[in-house]
Amino acid sequence: MSLDNTWFTEPMDKTGTAFSLKLGERVHAEQTPYQKIEIYRTETFGHLMVIDGCTMVSTRDNFLYHEMMSHPALYSHPNPRDVVVVGGGDCGTLREVLKHGEVQHATQVEIDERVTRLAEQYFPELCVANGDPRATLFFGDGIAWMKEAAPESLDLIIIDSTDPVGPAEGLFGKKFYVDCLKALRPGGMLVQQSESPLLHIDLIVEMHKAMHDAGFAQTRLLHFPQVIYPSGWWSGSIAQKTAGPLAERLDPATLQTLDTQYYNAEIHRAAFAVPNFVKRALGV
């Protein structure tokens, strides 16, 4: 992270790139037992949450990530009743999940409660579903929670994690995926943020291999823009417990009730169309 009192800049030395936002002021900073969290007021993107020097969420563009990490997977499952969000402490993904009336229960498992409490203060619009009677907020280790989850108790697992470093590193391996597979019902699915197709294709390939090695029948990639993340182009990886085509429950009347800013039926279908270099890398 670079800060000169005018601009916040996140340099990415490995990829030779950087992202910057013009700042107003830093309004909060603290070191939790897990990470350093900072909140900035920016000139054009509203509030910005930064964790360990990396951009996490902004007021202006968060809808892209939260909508695409939830709705494509939910509408690709025939009947998602029980959902868990691992990570996602800003609560935006939980909010999108609970827009679906078919969801009976959604648990958010976040290791650092301070992320959620700061989101409630600086991103209250993301936390409007926290009091939904179908929602449970659990503050603890997502890896341990998944290991202890009852077999075949979940329909959809959303891994809304930070990059695969620090507390999130264990969420990107075969051992964790085995526990996810066990917790899923037949036909269940996992979707995990999988970084930039342009900058992190090797990681995406490793993730899909680990998902297959864990026993998932097939994997797919979906992609979407995300301005404040490296390259501005992001992805989610879906792993299906059993083989077969994705469900496509895209009823126009139902979609209208979602009140989304980016996601719609056309975006849903387009998000699963991947470029040739990604096809070659994944062998599809």
Q: Same domain, yes or no, for 39 and 104?
A: no
Residues contacting residue 4 through CB under 8 Å, at least 6 positions apart: none
Where does a domain end: 35, 58, 81? 58
Q: Same domain, yes or no, for 42 and 121?
A: no
Q: Same domain, yes or no, for 217 and 150?
A: yes
Q: Same domain, yes or no, for 214 and 250?
A: yes
- Give residue 54's domain range: 2-58
Q: Same domain, yes or no, for 140 and 256?
A: yes
Q: Does residue 229 register a pLDDT over 80? A: yes
pLDDT confidence tier of residue 271, bands split at 50, 70 and 90 = very high
Active-site residue, from 82, 160, 179, 251: 160
d(CA 281, CA 284): 8
pLDDT digits (tens, 9 = 90+) for 68-85: 999 999 999 999 999 999
Q: What backbone phi and psi angles, to 5 degrees, belong to 220?
A: -145, 155
d(CA 198, CA 271): 15
Whole-prediction pTM: 0.94
pLDDT digits (tens, 9 = 90+) for 40-68: 999 999 999 999 999 999 999 999 999 99
Q: Same domain, yes or no, for 35 and 104?
A: no
Question: Which residue carries 């280790």 as its tokens?
Answer: 141
| The total number of structural domains that make up the chain | 2
Where does a domain end: 36, 58, 80? 58
Q: Same domain, yes or no, for 42 and 131?
A: no
Establish whether 160 is a catalytic residue: yes
Q: Does residue 163 register a pLDDT over 80? A: no
Q: What backbone phi and psi angles, to 5 degrees, belong to 272?
A: -90, 0
Q: Same domain, yes or no, for 88 and 118?
A: yes
Please name the residue ranges forming H helices in 62-187: 62-68, 71-74, 92-97, 113-122, 142-148, 174-183
The pLDDT value given to residue 30: 97
For range 234-238, the mean pLDDT: 97
* Residue in 70, 69, 68, 30 with CA at minimum distance from that of residue 49: 30
Measured in whole angstroms, the distance separating CA 5 from the mean position of its chain's CA atoms is 30
Q: Does residue 251 register a pLDDT over 80? A: yes
For range 258-277, the mean pLDDT: 97
Q: Same domain, yes or no, for 100 and 173?
A: yes
Q: Does residue 170 register a pLDDT over 90? A: no
pLDDT confidence tier of residue 173, bands split at 50, 70 and 90 = confident
Measured in whole angstroms, the distance separating CA 44 from the mean position of its chain's CA atoms is 23
Which CATH number characterizes residue 104's domain?
Answer: 3.40.50.150
Q: Same domain, yes or no, for 94 and 47?
A: no
Q: Same domain, yes or no, for 245 and 121?
A: yes
d(CA 85, CA 90): 11
pLDDT confidence tier of residue 1, bands split at 50, 70 and 90 = low
Q: Considering the chain, what is the average pLDDT of its residues?
A: 94
Token digits of residue 53: 């020097």
The pLDDT value given to residue 161: 81
Burial 192-231 (b: 16+ CB within 10 A, else e): bbbbbbbbbbebbebbbebbeebebebbbbbbbebbbbbb
Q: Same domain, yes or no, for 267 and 129?
A: yes
Which CATH number characterizes residue 54's domain?
Answer: 2.30.140.10
Q: Does residue 167 register a pLDDT over 80? A: no
